[in-house]
Amino acid sequence: MPTTFREGDTLVSPVVVAQTHSKGAPVQDPEVARSSGLKAPVVPNVFHFARITELMLEHFGAHWRTHGEIDVRYISPLHAGDTLQARARVLKVAPDPEGDRVHLDVRCENQDGAVLAQGAASCVLPSARGAASGTGAG
């Protein structure tokens, strides 16, 4: 976990291969996908969301559970077999009533670099941390 965040720092999740689940929505079913004219079963957006929240937990730790905020819009479908990676970029660190709040833009990209989901996230830093000089996150 980085000790500080600075504008422009980039946070990146591991690349994962998207997968469907047998108990998921019907569009995850290969037969339904085929008969509906889809190129492949559609992976639910909970998959994208998990990538982003895990990335936030990695960098903000327990504070994400008490001060984390996220707003994401899903843009294009993720298909089974595609890869997905979450990225976040620090936009600013601004004072908040409870401490310094780090504001980030967040996105998920597939193997072609297409943006499948994007939005904003923020989290208040532990009081001992902040926008001071030090090791960046990127």
Partner 1 sequence: MTVVPAATAEAVRLIEAHFAALEVGARVALERTYTEADVAEYVERTGIEYPGQHVADDGAHLLPPGMLLVGPARTFGILEGPPLARGGLFTAATRRYRRPVRLGESVRYEAALTDKFERGGYFYILVAWHAFDAEGHEVGSGVEEHTVGSARKPRAS
Distance, CA of 84 to CA of 116 (rounded, Å): 9
76 binds partner 1 (CB under 8 A): no
**Torsion angle defined by CA atoms of residues 134, 5, 7 and 114, in that order, rounded to the nearest 10 degrees:** 130
24 binds partner 1 (CB under 8 A): yes
Which residue stretch of 31-39, 95-103, 104-112, 128-136 sits at the interface with partner 1 (rule: CB under 8 A)?
31-39
Among 2, 29, 96, 101, binds partner 1 (CB under 8 A): 29
Nearer to partner 1, 19 or 127 (CB): 19
- Structural contact between residues 108 and 84, judged by C-beta atoms closer than 8 angstroms: yes
91 binds partner 1 (CB under 8 A): no
